A and B are shown apart, each in its own frame.
Chain A
Amino acid sequence: MNIHEFQARELFAEFGVATQPGKVASSPEEAENVALALGLSGGKFVVKAQIHAGGRGKGTFKNGFKGGVHLCGTPTEAKDLASKMIGQVLVTHQTGPDGKEVGKIFVGEAVDIARELYLAILIDRATSVPVVIASTEGGVDIETVAEKNPEKILRLPVHPFLGLMPYQTRIIAASLGLTGPLMSQASKLFTNLYRLFIERDCSMVEVNPLVVTKDGRLLALDAKFNFDDNALYRQPSIVAMRDVTEEDQREVEASKHGLNYIGLDGNIACLVNGAGLAMATMDIIQHAGGSPANFLDVGGGASREQVASAFRIILADKSVQGVLVNIFGGIMDCDVIAHGIVEAAKETGLSIPLVVRLEGNNVEAGKKTLAESGLKLEGAENILHAAQKIVSAVKAAV
């Protein structure tokens, strides 16, 4: 699950992680009031559109206004900028051509940056412990730093029960050149950030950049949070931050039915049981010369109803020109699944090619049900044949 920038700042405030002063606003008037309340004399303000996608600064609004991030000198100017962003649609390289409507903006103090640093906390899979990653190279992709200057990255493992120790915060501070009065600011920031990471069940928090301002403050300027989906049941305050308008609506719909769906760019939809098999089915569609439209795992024990909902979701995607169903019925009865497929195909008035590969428990009865259904569908003996059949059927139909 992802959150907005202003929500990340609210979390920072709650846990005492120093960040730039500022607040979220939903109207131009509110933006002006936030700027006034900041009470900066001769200072500068930053006004930022709040959408999940990156590349906001270089984006363009559909009303022609350029840039989702602006600097200005007065509260009146902040109000004016807000009026050009709120309610407008911002297109960035990450939003796709449809863009995203901006409902809220963040108004904050535009700080004078002396140095940009990088800090992240994540769970290291290889060692199963949290690791703090710090680098003096802030403001750029950490992957680029890792490739070109691996010596500039500090990786510090944290003991799961002891947590981040004070001496460790000093090691990190020293590696970042945060000495003198900055060291105590750094220790406090790192300690509080680690506490936030653990108490809110994050799987990753990345502060990029962490900045030292010209007036000697250490601030978390921008952050990216990933939360552990498995832990959301015990994190109601994080769940409350969920903004479904930022998510793929097909994925939102699928999750309501207990289905695991991820939309992709291709034209062959697939419906599979099991995550590993679902991934492998996408791969084999590509291997056969096609392009998968989605990842869809109906789960190990999918019901007839789930299969029917899955069909509705994949067929709602206008770019889908064919459907491949790949089920290995280990415990569940293939005949039950076959009935679910027939029901869903009839109900949705399926008019595009459908290839079904069934294997496993009571498979003969399942195949019989499909054959006697009167539906136009093709069976297949194995996954490769199934993929080849649907790819050629789609090519023939186009």
Chain B
Amino acid sequence: MSILVTPDTRVLIQGITGSFGARHAKLSLEYGTKVVAGVTPGKGGQLFENQVPIFDTVDQAVRETGATVSAIFVPPPFAADAILEGVAAGLDLVVTITEGIPVLDMMRVKEAMKGSKTRLIGPNCPGLVTPGTGEKSHGGCRIGIAPGYIHKKGSVGVVSRSGTLTYEAVWQLTSRGYGQSTCVGIGGDPINGTSHLDVLKMFNEDPETDAIIMIGEIGGSAEEEAAAWAAQHCKKPIAGFIAGATAPEGRRMGHAGAIVSGGQGTAEGKIAALRAAGIEIAETPSDMADALIRRMNR
């Protein structure tokens, strides 16, 4: 298994004809992901790359192709609507790549999603990858913008708020011969659909995941909550890294969620919470895979 998606997952892409969406839809197809539909209002009936049918609505795309998961690449002003369209169509999972969605829009989306069966990942996230068995992990399920070739099929789960730090961790693991079950980027915004804790619970239940790397950053308290749960319930070894120890208070460090305010959400506090939960801390971003290996050999 893996979590959230498998190589057989049927994926649709909202915003498939935009330059960003098109580029990554093509890369996913090349990776061997089952991209079965695209959605761009007004372009229904056309084909993307001469192979993927485009629909006007998500509902049509789901009924015609059996897609269960969507990746959203639409611009920020239209993203909240796109997410709720995916929810209304009964998708299992909506992965929102879009960066820059207003916080109040996301607040309303979360409230409107209560009681629905759909899980949201993101926004402002790199998406997720379940590596395949082919060369350079070809044949896997790549949803979003992560480079597919850095992965390798295996049993380490990776969860992170940051894209490039996820790639660093994955590349370090792959270079050392350790493959991944699923790698999930949950996004850098203050309001997101899926938390570190949600993903930890899934990895804990997944028989194909044997160890976990959790990458966090300053701001909020999601890493602390995940660590507190892991201390009590997680049966698998975890290594952690927290970015932002040198960030000045009160400044937004790129990600809208990466901000320390009123002494809350500091790297120091998060690292202490992770350590207290028995999580092996990577001192530097070069040390993420090695920290996990240390923890596994402990």
User: Which chain A residue lies CB-closest to B218?
Assistant: A279
Do A262 and B102 have beta carbons less than 8 Å apart?
A: no
Of residues 66 through 106 on chain B, the ones whose CB sits less than 8 Å from some CB of chain A are 76-77, 100-106
What is the bound-complex CA distance between A203 and B171, given in angstroms? 36
Do B150 and A295 have beta carbons less than 8 Å apart?
A: no
What is the bound-complex CA distance between A279 and B218, given in angstroms? 9
User: Which chain B residue lies CB-closest to A295?
Assistant: B253
Do B244 and A161 have beta carbons less than 8 Å apart?
A: no
Nearest CB in chain A: distance from B191 CB, A: 5
User: Which chain A residue lies CB-closest to B161?
Assistant: A276
Do B217 and A279 have beta carbons less than 8 Å apart?
A: yes
Residues of B within 8 Å of A360, CB to CB, are 147, 150, 167, 171
Do A130 and B215 have beta carbons less than 8 Å apart?
A: no
Residues of B within 8 Å of A262, CB to CB, are 248, 251, 253
Q: Would you call A234 an interface residue if the criterion is a C-beta within 8 Å of the partner chain's C-beta atoms?
A: yes
Residues of A within 8 Å of B164, CB to CB, are 272-274, 276-277, 300, 328, 330
The segment from B2-10, B48-56, B226-234, B280-288 that touches chain A is B280-288
Chain B interface residue bracket vs A = 35 or more
Do B163 and A283 have beta carbons less than 8 Å apart?
A: no
User: Contact partner of A274 among B162, B256, B257, B263, CB < 8 A?
Assistant: B162
Q: A382-B286, A383-B284 are in contact. Are A125 and B77 (CB under 8 A)?
A: no
Of residues 257 through 309 on chain A, the ones whose CB sits less than 8 Å from some CB of chain B are 260, 262, 264, 272-287, 292, 295, 297, 300
Q: A330-B147, A360-B147 are in contact. Are A234 and B255 (CB under 8 A)?
A: no
What is the bound-complex CA distance between A279 and B253, given in angstroms? 7
Q: A228-B103, A279-B253 are in contact. Are A125 and B258 (CB under 8 A)?
A: no
Q: Would you call B241 an interface residue if the criterion is a C-beta within 8 Å of the partner chain's C-beta atoms?
A: yes
Chain A interface residue bracket vs B = 35 or more
Do B191 and A128 have beta carbons less than 8 Å apart?
A: yes
Q: Would you call B107 an interface residue if the criterion is a C-beta within 8 Å of the partner chain's C-beta atoms?
A: yes
Do B286 and A384 have beta carbons less than 8 Å apart?
A: yes
Q: A128-B107, A330-B167 are in contact. Are A279 and B27 (CB under 8 A)?
A: no
Do B150 and A142 have beta carbons less than 8 Å apart?
A: no
User: Which chain A residue lies CB-closest to B101?
Assistant: A230
Q: A275-B253, A359-B171 are in contact. Are A126 and B104 (CB under 8 A)?
A: no
Q: Would you call A361 an interface residue if the criterion is a C-beta within 8 Å of the partner chain's C-beta atoms?
A: yes
Residues of B within 8 Å of A228, CB to CB, are 102-104, 256
Residues of B within 8 Å of A234, CB to CB, are 77, 102
Q: Would you call B275 an interface residue if the criterion is a C-beta within 8 Å of the partner chain's C-beta atoms?
A: no
User: Which chain B residue lies CB-closest to A228?
Assistant: B103
Q: A282-B247, A331-B147 are in contact. Are A277 and B103 (CB under 8 A)?
A: no
Nearest CB in chain A: distance from B15 CB, A: 16
Do B253 and A284 have beta carbons less than 8 Å apart?
A: no
Do A280 and B111 have beta carbons less than 8 Å apart?
A: no
What is the bound-complex CA distance between A283 and B165, given in angstroms? 13
Residues of A within 8 Å of B167, CB to CB, are 328, 330, 360
Nearest CB in chain A: distance from B28 CB, A: 12
Q: A126-B221, A360-B150 are in contact. Are A161 and B104 (CB under 8 A)?
A: no
Q: Would you call A10 an interface residue if the criterion is a C-beta within 8 Å of the partner chain's C-beta atoms?
A: no
Q: Would you call B44 an interface residue if the criterion is a C-beta within 8 Å of the partner chain's C-beta atoms?
A: no
Residues of A within 8 Å of B107, CB to CB, are 123, 128-130, 160
Do B287 and A384 have beta carbons less than 8 Å apart?
A: yes
Q: A287-B283, A383-B284 are in contact. Are A264 and B150 (CB under 8 A)?
A: no
User: Which 8 residue pairs across A and B have the least CB separation, nearest first?
Assistant: A276-B162, A275-B254, A274-B164, A330-B147, A231-B102, A277-B164, A276-B165, A384-B286
11 contacts between A and B (CB under 8 A): A123-B107, A125-B190, A125-B220, A128-B111, A276-B188, A279-B218, A279-B244, A283-B246, A295-B247, A331-B147, A360-B171
